[in-house]
Amino acid sequence: MAFDAGKPDLDCFPFEQWSRILAKSWRRPAIDQLYEGENGGYAALKFEVSAYLRSARGLECSPDQVILTSSTHEALEVLSQVLLDEGEEVWIEDPVYHSALQAFIRASVIPVSIRVDDEGFSLEQAIEKSPHARLVFITPSRQYPLGQTMSLSRRLALIEWARANNAWLIEDDYDSEYRYRGQPLQPLAARDGFERTVYLGSFSKVMFPALRLSYIIAPKALVEPLLAAMQSSGKQASILAQPALAAFMASGDFARHIRRTRRLYAKRYSVLVAALEKYGGDLFELQHYDSGMHIVAHFKPVLTSKISDIEAAKRLRKHHLITAALSQFFRTKPKPQGLVLGFAAVPEKAIDVNVKRLTDLLRQ
Ligand SMILES: Cc1ncc(COP(=O)(O)O)c(C=O)c1O
């Protein structure tokens, strides 16, 4: 449905290959992996994830650094438990992924919001606001939800700070597959060589969200403590899809699916930008970076004087247009007004007509 952010296109998902692989993987399962299950995930999947990250992201990591989780939320809860004591502070970006914020709160640590700027997260601002934090959660490749990348100087400063202070960086690299121009960016963890950086990835966008498989790539020193914490808290990703996903990746179907969706989303991205400029040039200031699965349309004064983004999203929802109010991603004031518009799951033909409907509804 237009313009639900975070939803991948599933009309083009290769269900035939997937179901064949899924059935085959369960015909003769490795019985030893069906009791407690492999610690940290199915061995073949850990191997495939590390091989994929090496080739797609230039990330040198070994299969034993891979820990499968059922969500990024779960990963963050376990990481908080291992890396911090209760009541300690963690720097998070403002705006932020809501589920990450919830994970830190559930883990009884204190998220301190640091407002991002054009270069992303600012260490200077963070130190000023809470000088004793030892953990930071960041989206350096594509700030969530605004989309800018963290500048090289900021990345280097963070790595230096973490090394000097025995602190940890958690890098959430949630949708780097979807860059439509230029080379993929080097992850922070690659630059750091996994000294102080924990890398998080997810299959939610490249496969589908209800698969519930995400992963941590941990520095070697953290693997055992993280596995122990997963075990003691009863957290474990389900085995059900893991052998099939490993085979799906090994067969090349996974890479093909990513290439196909990247082409599809690139087209939808430009159609959405063009439609917003055509129908809403006077209403919105667009923030977009030739990447991702959503773009941010900031309200211009003509719109902010009429309606809040929360009311706008409510009004649109009544007409079956799903958007997210930008202000709801922020914890500090002022809260910018705008809409987050997903395009990945919206067919090209539906984009233009629905942007027209959306702008008509907001003008009323
Ligand atoms: C910023 C961000 N991080 C991570 C994820 C992935 O989370 P999960 O693996 O729990 O689906 C998403 C998914 O929408 C996201 O938007």
The token pair at 61 is 């990591």
- pLDDT tens-digit series, residues 130-156: 999 999 999 999 999 999 999 999 999
Which amino acids bring their CB within 6 angstroms of ligand 1?
A: 6, 71-73, 97, 139, 144, 172, 174, 202, 204, 209, 214
Q: How far is the CA of 342 from the centre of ligand 1 (A)?
A: 14
Neighbours of 27 (CB within 10 A): 6
The answer as to CATH 3.90.1150.10 being correct for domain 255-363 is: yes
Is the pLDDT at 224 greater than 90, yes or no? yes
The token pair at 101 is 């914020």
pLDDT of residue 185: 85
Q: Where are the domains of the chain?
A: 38-238, 255-363
> Would you report the helix, strand and coil content of the chain in percent, each value rounded to 5?
45, 15, 40
pTM of the model: 0.97
Question: What average pLDDT does the segment 236-261 reach?
Answer: 96
Question: What average pLDDT does the segment 289-296 reach?
Answer: 97
User: Edge-to-edge strand order for the sheet containing 110-115?
Assistant: 66-69, 214-217, 197-202, 168-172, 135-138, 89-94, 110-115
DSSP track, 241-310: THHHHHHHHHTTHHHHHHHHHHHHHHHHHHHHHHHHHHHHTTTEEEE--SBSSEEEEEEPHHHHTT--HH
The answer as to CATH 3.40.50.300 being correct for domain 38-238 is: no
Q: How far is the CA of 204 from the centre of ligand 1 (A)?
A: 7
Q: Is 139 helix (H, G, I), strand (E, B) or coil?
A: coil
Q: Are 326 and 309 in contact (CB under 8 A)?
A: yes
Is the pLDDT at 240 greater than 90, yes or no? yes
* Count of all residues that appear for the chain in the document: 364
**β partners of residue 286:** 297
- The closest-lying atom of ligand 1 relative to the alpha carbon of residue 144 is 1
Instruction: Count the alpha carbons within 13 Å of 189 in the hemisphere toward its beta carbon.
Output: 27
